[in-house]
A and B are shown apart, each in its own frame.
Chain A
Amino acid sequence: MLYREAGDFKTTYRADNQTFPILFDRVGFWITLAVAWLIVPLVINDYWANAILVPFLIYAIAAIGLNILTGYCGQVSLGTGGFMAVGAYAVYKLMTAFPDVSMVIHILLAGGITAIVGALFGLPSLRIKGFYLAVATLAAQFFLVWLFNKVPWFYNYSASGQINAPERFLFGQAITGANAGPTAQYLICLAFVTFCALLARNLTRGTVGRSWMAIRDMDIAAEIIGVNPLRAKLTAFAVSSFFIGIAGALFFAVYLGAVEVGEAFGINKSFLVLFMCIIGGLGSIFGSFAGAAFLVLLPVALKVIGADLLGWPTQIVSHLQLVVVGGLIMFFLIKEPHGLAQLWRLTKEKLRLWPFPY
């Protein structure tokens, strides 16, 4: 009734090939964008920005990045934390060395630097696959964290090895540093999320994305039909790292403001982003958002309900959180191995037939 193709006629090839061919999807997409861009900035406060929306948006970028590599190109990576650290340290060095250049350029450049590093660590993927590649990217994770801890140049020789984001402005508004308002922080992250999601969506629909998926589905067959594995795998690593680098740069500069590499970008971060992709759904942009929302919102929601509303002791709530999140991850993996995105797909299938299923 609500969601159907009947009556939604396409008269041009262009209309037939658009991103959201069904009217309901298209309307939903524009409404979501309108709410995110026009309504949320008016009502957002410090708590919603810093505890919920900004981390959600940043993790969504990281999850999209990893989804390109793991979900679309089939290359397992455990180096996400390390690549986020590259983005964070790159933006820190850039913003302290060139204080007058716009932060947007710095963040994009940080993504570019991460893309180069990512492509470099992607080289082993030409020879090794599966678990062995996972181990090679794990090495990247540990090497990068060690490097940023070891070489004082990366943290400008500060006594503690911490990096701190100085205040930077965009259109006269502070977007980094302590005086950044919640609206500015939210909007800068939203701008990058919108840009990254649209870019990822369109890349995966085009030649590049199809060559990634061909490699994922069967690399030998892909090579036989003319897909160059070198180019496909390295572009996947580069594009994925570009997104993850942007996420790392925002994570440091806009969200946390001060970062210690081992704590913020450790192996736990790699697993967290990987779980977001798996729970959200591999090979789906929507899934990246759903997974990020699930893993960012659920702990906060449990804390608010358990500790603030029911008044349980904080340690019980904290332990319960591990149990509940772990339990839900298992539940989803058993009941729906293709993630939240698949649930959404099934819902849409059912909606198409509703209210007269056959």
Chain B
Amino acid sequence: MKRTFTAAAVAALMTGSASADLVIPDLSYRTGPYAAGGIPFSDGYQDYFALLNARDGGIGGEEIRVVECETGYNTEKGVECYESTKGEGALVYQPLSTGITYQLIPKATADGIPLHTMGYGRTSAADGEVFNWTFNYPANYWDAASVAVNYLLDENGDDLSETSVALVYHDSAYGAEPIRTLEELSAKHGFDLSLFPVTPPGQEQKSTWLQIRRERPDYVVMWGWGVMNQVAIQEAANINFPMENFIGNWWAGAEHDVTPAGAAADGYKALNMNRIQDYPVLGEIQTQVIDAGMGAGDGTNVGKVLYVRGMYAAMLAAEAIANAQEIHGVSDITAAQMRDGMEQLEITEARMEELGMAGVGPSFSVSCENHGGSGEGLVQQWNASDGVFEPLTDFITPDDAVIDPLVEADAAAFAEENGISPGCL
């Protein structure tokens, strides 16, 4: 048993290092309590790379090889996945888990592999001078909190002094992230903020929502993920909380979150960093990847909120690879070159249109100082009868005057704790 295992491990490591493709590890989770969100994201992420391979022969003539590793949203398995894939020449990690991100930030920095935590992970990683190898463009949690508040300001004629906002959050590193920003914003705009932690995974929320019914906040903002979202939306429907006053963040606004509540979920709002509509690129994926039998999943997720987000993440990675190839003049880039490609990435409206996904995300550029992108997000609303999330607003700009000092302070604290002297590479 032990010998077969050793042989297996050696064989696995050898087959990995033999080829010279562009290696993209996909730390996915298709099992466990968060699988409903993990599956469409991973499908979108892998299918876009499969499309590039099938249509363009990879990027710059180099085939892309996606290595999938199942984490189950579990940090220990995440570490195992990271260690087993990093030797294969991994270019960038996208763990889709705040917990795993916190593990990987120091490890990836030490190993010199960039980490892209798109809209999750450690918010202060936006400070590129402290977090040289971590990127969280196009937006982070604190941007999301600010975008939500800016949307409420817009809805209430720029005055929130008489309003009360409740934050229902996943009681974990992920859910606790927006609290500090919301507290600052509550002080600035004078709204009343109350906090409702939900114990992960969040199947039991009766008492939380009874309390909300008693306190009658004007708005509920939710930081949820996985089964927690479905339960919260169902419970909100049970206490007849008006859905149009219920706003989820971008991890709490996918089809599988609202469909269990049926028609009662109609009008539920959520943030998104992508506009959900019918893009030409989705048609290409359908014909060249799914119909060709090369899809990562069964193809039923194409075009869904998290599928589009996974595809968007893959697009950003692919653009960074192309950028790195251009900067360094080689097609078979290394992880360090990938980092340069990410740091000098610029996504424009014209480029997104060229890629067949016009307006899928905000236009932004990355720099050494700012790894966080523009921070813009939009608000979408669930239409239960048609079964789609419809974009309600255009991309909303966050309040950088509040967020920037917070990012700076948190990054400075991290730098001090870990003895990092901030600077560009």
Contacts and interface: CB of A to CB of B under 8 A. Distances in A.
Interface string B19-31: 0000000001011
A276 B417 CA distance: 36
A100 interface: no
B199 interface: yes
Interface in B51-104: 68-70, 72, 74-76, 79-80, 83-84, 86-87, 98-99, 102-103
B418 interface: yes
A46 B31 contact: no
A50 B83 contact: yes
Contacts of A317: 70
Contact count band on B: 35 or more
Interface stretch (A18-26, A207-215, A257-265, A337-345): A257-265
A262 B103 contact: no
A96 B414 CA distance: 12
Nearest to A258: B102
B98 A160 contact: yes
A92 to B, nearest CB: 11
Interface residues of A, number: 43
Chain B interface main SS type: helix
B173 interface: yes
Contacts of A255: 79
Contacts of B102: 160, 162, 164, 258, 260
A257 B30 contact: no
B215 to A, nearest CB: 20
Interface string B157-180: 000000000000001111011011
Nearest to B181: A159
A166 B417 contact: yes
Interface string A145-180: 000010000000011111010110000000001110
A149 B31 contact: no
B12 A263 contact: no
Contact of B199 (A46, A262, A300): A262
A301 interface: yes
A297 interface: yes
A319 B173 CA distance: 27
Contact of A177 (B30, B70, B418): B418
B18 interface: no
Contacts of A314: 28, 30, 68-70
Given A179-B110, A258-B106, A318-B30, 6 more contacts: A178-B110, A256-B103, A257-B106, A260-B173, A309-B11, A318-B70
- Listed from nearest, the 3 A-B pairs whose CB atoms lie closest are A178-B106, A315-B30, A178-B110
18 contacts: A55-B76, A159-B176, A162-B99, A164-B102, A166-B418, A167-B418, A177-B106, A257-B103, A258-B106, A263-B75, A263-B200, A301-B8, A307-B68, A309-B8, A314-B68, A318-B31, A318-B72, A319-B31
Interface of B: 1, 4-5, 8-9, 11-13, 28, 30-31, 35, 68-70, 72, 74-76, 79-80, 83-84, 86-87, 98-99, 102-103, 105-107, 109-111, 122-124, 171-174, 176-177, 179-180, 199-200, 410, 413-414, 417-419
